Amino acid sequence: MVKITHETASAMLAKRAAQVQRGSARAAVLGVNDGLVSVLCLVVGVAAAGADAKSVLLAGFAGALAGAISMAAGEWISVKAQVELFENVLADLKNIVKNDKPLLEQNLAKNLEEHGIDTMTAKNAVADVAKSDKEFVSMYSSQVIGLNEDELGSPWVAAGSSFVLFWLGSIPPLLPWIIGWHNIEGILLAVVLTGLGSLFVGGYTARSSGKSVVLGAMRQLLIVIFASAVTYGIGVVFGVVVS
């Protein structure tokens, strides 16, 4: 049995926090979840409307590709905007360091005191760090502003992971038609496979955030059931109207 030390636990927490700030954790969850739910709704709705297997597959693959591209583009823009905003904040901070460093030193010392460090120790620590503008900016941004310069994230990583994970999420709802299950059997199998995928995603997300795994998994499953029921009904109505 592997013993987890306080140092290891601290490193794990830091890694999780970095993933959240970079946007990779969000991109992963949203990518898989959107692939599962959106493609399921698409194939269920088209199949319920009476389309043949080829049409369902065509619609499903087209929806998966469009969704993956849309997710990737959205994540790229979102993370890019966040990085540019943070970089602008850091640029302003560096300008203030050049023009009014003593004021920032006072703010940092006060911040350290508020975290339980005595006044003299806080002032000495700030004085040591202030010898290097780079180290001072790094410490000030993380302690006072709450921004770690090394954890801004990559727009391309977020976009790439979203694209790939959306495709992975789209596999369960498409699989029945790929292997030759059609009509109501294909719809039921797609819902079951997507439900299993949603249980895993919901449970994993809940576990990562320290919440109830059961509640997280069931919440995700209910979303899938509700979405598939609504789109199935719409597909049936649309199919009747068209016929």
Question: What's the rounded mean pLDDT across residues 191-212?
Answer: 87
Domain map of the chain by residue range?
Answer: 23-242
**CB distance 216 to 205 below 8 Å:** yes
Per-residue pLDDT at 12 exceeds 60: no
Q: What is the pLDDT of residue 243?
A: 44
**CB distance 149 to 89 below 8 Å:** no
State the pTM of this model: 0.73
Per-residue pLDDT at 242 exceeds 60: no
Per-residue pLDDT at 13 exceeds 60: no
Read off the pLDDT of residues 117-162 as tens digits, 9 standing for 90 and up: 888 888 888 889 888 888 888 888 888 887 777 667 788 888 888 8
Question: What's the rounded mean pLDDT across residues 28-56?
Answer: 89
pLDDT band at 9; cut points 50, 70, 90 = very low
Q: What is the pLDDT of residue 14?
A: 42
Per-residue pLDDT at 208 exceeds 80: no
Question: What's the rounded mean pLDDT across residues 210-230?
Answer: 90
**Sequential DSSP letters for the chain:** -----HHHHHHHHHHHHHHHHHTHHHHHHHHHHHHHHHHHHHHHHHHHTT--HHHHHHHHHHHHHHHHHHHHHHHHHHHHHHHHHHHHHHHHHHHHHHHHHHHHHHHHHHHHHHTT--HHHHHHHHHHHTTSHHHHHHHHIIIII---GGG---HHHHHHHHHHHHHHHHHHHHHHHHTT--HHHHHHHHHHHHHHHHHHHHHHHHHHTTS-HHHHHHHHHHHHHHHHHHHHHHHHHHHHHH-
Question: What's the rounded mean pLDDT across residues 81-109?
Answer: 87
pLDDT band at 164; cut points 50, 70, 90 = very high
In angstroms, the Cα distances linking 45 to 22, 61, 157, 202, 233 are 36, 14, 33, 24, 8
**CB distance 166 to 31 below 8 Å:** yes
Question: What's the rounded mean pLDDT across residues 105-112?
Answer: 88
Per-residue pLDDT at 111 exceeds 80: yes
Among 3-7, 30-34, 85-89, where is mean pLDDT lowest?
3-7
Question: What tokens appear for 47 in the block?
Answer: 């199949």
Q: What is the pLDDT of residue 26?
A: 62
pLDDT band at 15; cut points 50, 70, 90 = very low
Per-residue pLDDT at 67 exceeds 50: yes
Read off the pLDDT of residues 97-108 as tens digits, 9 standing for 90 and up: 888 888 888 888
Per-residue pLDDT at 44 exceeds 70: yes
The rounded mean pLDDT for the chain is 83
